[in-house]
Amino acid sequence: MIRTNKNMIDLLEKAKIKKEEVIKISTDNLSKIMSPNFKEVHDCIIIDMNNEIKVENVNFKRILSMFRDRTGYEASCNEIRINDYIDYSEEVAVLQLAEIIMDTWKYKLKTEYPQYRFCIILSFSEGYVTMRFHVIRENESSWLKADLDEYKDEAIMVQEF
């Protein structure tokens, strides 16, 4: 299921009429954001870009005291700002790339962790595209407000699967 707010609908409409833009990105950076390493840490799925996380070194009690729950921890840790991995490009082109990355993450998460349901959040604000995700948990509230149109200053797309 995909949900968007009105700001994202407007941005996607603008993207439809734009021609394809060229995005300059190194293959290393493309690989990092397109198919990052995911690691399971205390029933949380975390992006581990450089394959450095060691579960035994994670102080999970401290983490829960900082983030209140697993959803908050994942949503905070699993944030990638797409613009940080590419050379400057037109904002609609960055959004189009982010949609492709979102689909890739969906496939990879479903394949590697079929026992979980996920929420991927794509947001656009002030020219920057940010992606993050978290596991959907019945016993924890959503990381986002239910009404996405309450976010007036950013365009948001949410994909749950």
The arithmetic mean of pLDDT across residues 18-27, rounded, is 72
Residue reference for tokens 């479903």: 110
Closest to 133 measured CA to CA, from 104, 96, 153:
104
Domain hosting 95: range is 2-160
| Overall number of domains in the chain | 1
CA distance 82 to 109: 18
pLDDT tens digits for range 64-118:
999 999 999 999 999 999 999 998 668 888 998 999 999 999 999 999 999 999 9
Please give the sequence-ordered ranges of beta strands (E in DSSP) within 99-154, or none if there are none. Answer: 118-125, 128-135
pLDDT tens digits for range 135-149:
999 999 999 999 999
pLDDT tens digits for range 46-58:
999 999 999 999 9
In the three-class reduction of DSSP (H, G, I as helix; E, B as strand; rest coil), residue 143 is classed as coil
Q: What pLDDT is recorded for position 22?
A: 67
Residue reference for tokens 């908050």: 72
